[in-house]
Structure 1
Amino acid sequence: MHAMTLRLSPGDDLRAALDHAFRTHGLSAAFVLQGIGSLSVARLRFAGREEAAELRGDLEILTLAGSLSAQGPHLHTSLSDADGRVTGGHVAPGCIVRTTAEIVVANLPDERYTREHDAATGFAELVIRTA
């Protein structure tokens, strides 16, 4: 395992930036170990929902974790608003960095991640192979 730290800038799309880093560094399997920072816009899909909800304002990233594969990121986050209320869910496209996001990504060079249809769940699920 090799870890790398990313710092995202104001206006960056969180998912797109992580996907770009995955592709730019030629990774085959990676995991977001942790992320902190802030967002001005968050788009989260809550459990059992089809569509993402949009939150706007000064939002702090309390946690960020997930996997990175060739099919794109699968990320979950918990956020707090200016009143300290906490919410969390699946990170959808359109989460925009407010001031910064500091993210630690673990590269797993001996593995290859893909997302493939799983008949048991009906969703594209993580498949782990040896590289």
Structure 2
Amino acid sequence: MAAGPSTLTVHALRLQPGQELLSSLLSFVEERKLRAPFIITCVGSITKATLRLANATAENTNEVVHLQERFEIVSLVGTLNRDAHLHICLADKEGKTIGGHVMGDLEVFTTAEVVIGEANDLEFGRVMDDRTGFPELVINSRSKQA
């Protein structure tokens, strides 16, 4: 499923030490009423995270890790609509990486500098997909939503 093309608006924010990354991003999106937001880039560090690993399914959702140490954010990607779908890659003090689906509990250590894009002509939503067992992205043209 695809839609587009679309014009782009760019938003930037910096999160402070102790802020929770996912809830802060969702609040930012809600306050600005963004309808098709996505992560362009993010750099920073965190002190803890809860991630769902790649082996998880709708029936086997216990493939979750709770991390509690200092990590650099080396990648953050995904869509930020109401049911955000974000994946993160983190590097520890030795440069070893771990990544997965963001469940939350991402506490900022020093900073999180985030650039968010919004596709102005689109709207993102999520609908349960019986094939995957998860709510999956639905992309609509805003002209159809008017």
Determine if the TM-score, normalized by the shorter chain, exceeds 0.5.
Answer: yes
**Partner AA of 2:73 in structure 1:** I
Output aligned runs, 1:46-85, within 5 Å.
Answer: 46-49=53-56, 50-51=61-62, 52-70=64-82, 72-85=83-96
CA deviation digits over 1:104-126, x for unaligned, max 9?
A: 10011211111101122221000
**Runs of 4+, deviation exceeding 3 Å:** none
Instruction: Tell me, yes or no, if structure 1 residue 17 matches structure 2 residue 24.
Output: yes
Question: What is the rounded CA distance, in whole Å, between the counterparts of 1:123 and 1:62 in structure 2?
Answer: 26
SS of aligned partner of 1:120: coil
Q: Rg bigger for which structure?
A: 2
Identical positions, percent: 37
Which ranges of structure 1 fall in alignment gaps of 5 or more residues?
none
Q: Do the aligned residues in 2 keep the contact of 1:114 with 1:128 (CA within 8 Å)?
A: yes
The equivalent of 1:42 in structure 2 is 49
Question: What is the rounded CA distance, in whole Å, between the counterparts of 1:78 and 1:121 in structure 2?
Answer: 23
SS of aligned partner of 1:15: helix
Which ranges of structure 2 fall in alignment gaps of 5 or more residues?
1-7
**Partner AA of 2:46 in structure 1:** L
Instruction: Tell me, yes or no, if structure 1 residue 27 matches structure 2 residue 34.
Output: yes
SS of aligned partner of 1:27: coil
CA deviation digits over 1:37-65, x for unaligned, max 9?
A: 00000111111232321111111000111
Instruction: Tell me, yes or no, if structure 1 residue 116 matches structure 2 residue 109.
Output: no
Q: Do the aligned residues in 2 keep the contact of 1:18 with 1:73 (CA within 8 Å)?
A: no
Q: How many residues align?
A: 130
Question: What is the rounded CA distance, in whole Å, between the counterparts of 2:87 and 2:53 in structure 1?
Answer: 10
**Partner AA of 1:89 in structure 2:** G
Q: Do the aligned residues in 2 keep the contact of 1:44 with 1:88 (CA within 8 Å)?
A: yes
**Partner AA of 1:62 in structure 2:** V
